[in-house]
Amino acid sequence: MSPSVSELNRYLRQIRELYGDALILERTGEKRVNHHGSATGDLFEGDGEHSWEQAESLDELYERIRTCRKCPLCETRTNFVFGTGSPHAGVVLIGEAPGAEEDLQGEPFVGRAGQLLNKILGAIGFRRDEVYICNILKCRPPNNRDPLPSEVEKCEPYLHRQLDLIRPRIILALGRIAAQTLLRTTDSLTVLRAGRHSYRGIPLVVTYHPAALLRNPGWKRPTWEDVQRFRSLYDGLCAGDTV
Ligand code: SF4
């Protein structure tokens, strides 16, 4: 009987412990060398994620990547957190990564922060099910630490494909880490909130993460101003289509 993927992964981890980081994998006559201390996609690819770039719908993309093992977060996640909402949404909201509740439920922005986000959306005339909500990383970093650059590098292409399929008019980045990661900047949240940005050609606005608002209710007013501006921008983009 052939070994399962998890048995193979366990075997490869044992080999790495025994022989160090420079693993040499023979694959169809081609030599691949892992120079890194951390596990790479070569070692952790799971079933069903191949040719995900060709997925033609969000459902298909989900099916192809839900068992992803391209970075070590696959080892600690409870659930893969893909995203939720309308596949044809004009608006996409992006956070940094799933938190504890999201990891347990397999859905982004649930719990108290999710309820607050729903209220914020309602205040500018959107229902949760008519926008699309997701994160840059699809698996939870342990103890809610910030995403590592190596994790972003592995996971962000999935976000790109999601956006290519949804083709939203506008993006709202939730929180400093999400905004800095998407925009490849170290600018402060204050600076980022004041600007209008672009991500893969899509206009992008930045505001606070709803979890931060729970900790600092004083930030609700500036968030209100951010999302009002976001709504106006969205309406302007929609109106631009009709002229
Ligand atoms: S965080 Fe992204 S790249 Fe890493 S295992 Fe999860 S889905 Fe794969």
Segment 63-98, tens digit of pLDDT = 999 999 999 999 999 999 999 999 999 999 999 999
CATH number of the CATH domain containing 165: 3.40.470.10
Question: Which atom of ligand 1 is nearest the CA belonging to 41?
Answer: 3
Cα(151) to ligand 1 centroid in Å equals: 7
The predicted pLDDT at position 241 comes to 73
Mean pLDDT to the nearest integer, 168-189: 98
Segment 13-50, tens digit of pLDDT = 554 444 444 343 333 332 222 222 233 333 344 444 45
Q: Concatenated DSSP letters for 192-208?
A: HHHS-EEETTEEEEEE-
Cβ of 73 below 6 Å from ligand 1 = yes
**Same domain flag for 175 and 220:** yes
7 pLDDT more than 80: no
**Same domain flag for 111 and 24:** no
**Same domain flag for 237 and 126:** yes
What residue owns the CA closest to ligand 1's atom 3?
155
CA–CA dist 33, 30 (Å, integer): 10
117 pLDDT more than 60: yes
225 pLDDT more than 60: yes
What residue owns the CA closest to ligand 1's atom 1?
139
Cβ of 140 below 6 Å from ligand 1 = no
- Domain count within the chain: 2
Mean pLDDT to the nearest integer, 119-130: 97
Give this prediction's pTM.
0.80
116 in Cβ contact with 204 (< 8 Å) = no
3-state secondary structure of 209: coil
Q: How many CB atoms lie within 10 A of CB 34?
A: 18
Q: CA angle, 178 as apex, 88 and 78 as ends, to 5°?
A: 80
CA–CA dist 19, 33 (Å, integer): 13
**Same domain flag for 116 and 172:** yes
2 pLDDT more than 80: no
